[in-house]
Amino acid sequence: MGTASRIELVVLDLAGTTVVDDGLVEEAFVRAWDRVRATEEGKDAAIDWVRQTMGQSKIEVFRHLVDEETAQALRAAFEEALDELVAEGRVTAIPGAEETVRRLRAAGRSVVFTTGFSRATADAVLASLGWQELAELSLTPADAGRGRPAPDLNLTALLRAGASSVSAIAVVGDTESDAESGVRAGAGYVAGVLTGGREAERLLAAGAHEVLADVTALPAALERHER
């Protein structure tokens, strides 16, 4: 990609990027739907929408499906279901993700986790992995203003971490929303990863500069970007 600004800050998504999502989010939504809606009518279309909007703020996803009162009930039930799945041991790290974050920080780069989950759910996921201190901080839509694909999470990460410019940010995620949010923020480097099940073509079409097999390829990719 030629000579570029040094990447000072790496913004990493959680589910699907650094945390395995083997149907975790979808299963939590199905549990929530069954408890709140208790009907098969519209369920398949709702699940399909949740798949399409992976990475986005969950309350915004639910607002697209139902009225505000029901959306809030779905969010509460979704968070409860995710807590159950965490307690069941369903949350695991992408192999090599923790070592990758440590490598990035050892190279002098700040690392911030971002997610479409609520603060309580994000904290539960990080605690289950022992990752509370792994990154400098973690951000949710409630912390930043708007969720993906808006740029707010990435720009808030820049402000909190004290990066010198948007060109010094790398944004990495497994969904189109992740890539689009990086582009909207003006990030110097935007990468997609294939561990969330999205095709490389879709991530590139959303604005990713590069698509990596998984997050462990990131340190080398950043070094290439900076040369």
What is the rounded average pLDDT of the residues 99-112?
A: 98
Mean of pLDDT over the chain: 93
pLDDT of residue 60: 87
Q: How confident is the model at residue 49 (pLDDT cuts 50, 70, 90)?
A: very high
Domain ranges of the chain: 9-21+91-226, 24-87
- How many CA within 13 A on the CB side of residue 214? 17
Q: What is the pLDDT of residue 3?
A: 53
pLDDT of residue 86: 86
| Residue 133 DSSP SS3 | coil
Q: Report d(CA 66, CA 71) in Å as an integer.
A: 6
Of the CA atoms within 13 Å of residue 178, those in its CB half-sphere come to 35
- Closest listed residue to residue 98, CA positions, set 216, 16, 190, 221: 216
Report the sign of the C-alpha dihedral through residues 85, 88, 89, 90, in that order.
negative
| Cα–Cα distance measured from residue 107 to residue 27, given in angstroms and rounded to the nearest whole number | 37
Alpha-carbon span 211 to 153, nearest angstrom: 21
Percent of the chain with pLDDT over 70: 98
Which tens digits make up the pLDDT trace of 191-217? 999 999 899 999 999 999 999 999 999
Is CATH 1.10.10.10 the classification given to domain 9-21+91-226? no
d(C-alpha 41, C-alpha 123), whole Å: 33
Is residue 222 pLDDT above 90, yes or no? yes
- pLDDT on residue 156: 98
pLDDT at 29: 92
Q: At what angle do helices 152-161 and 176-184 cross, to 10 degrees?
A: 60
- The pLDDT of residue 185 is 97
The runs of H, that is alpha helices, within 145-175 are: 152-161
Nearest 5°: CA angle at 13, between 108 and 158? 50
Window from 26-30, 34-38, 53-57, 96-100 with minimum mean pLDDT: 53-57
Q: Quick one: average pLDDT of 58-69? A: 91
Please give the Cα distance from 76 to 81 (Å, whole number). Answer: 9
Strand 137-139 versus strand 110-114 pairing type: parallel
Q: Above 90 in pLDDT, residue 226?
A: yes
Top-confidence residue, 116 or 139: 139
What is the three-class DSSP state of 42? Answer: coil
What pLDDT does 1 receive? Answer: 43
Whether 61 has a pLDDT exceeding 60, the answer reads: yes
Confidence grade of residue 24 (pLDDT, cut at 50, 70, 90): confident
Mean pLDDT of 168-185: 97
126's CB contacts (< 8 A; 6+ apart) are 113, 132, 134, 138
Exposed e or buried b per residue across 2-22, where buried means at least 16 C-beta atoms within 10 angstroms of its C-beta = eebbebbbbbbbbbbbbbbbe
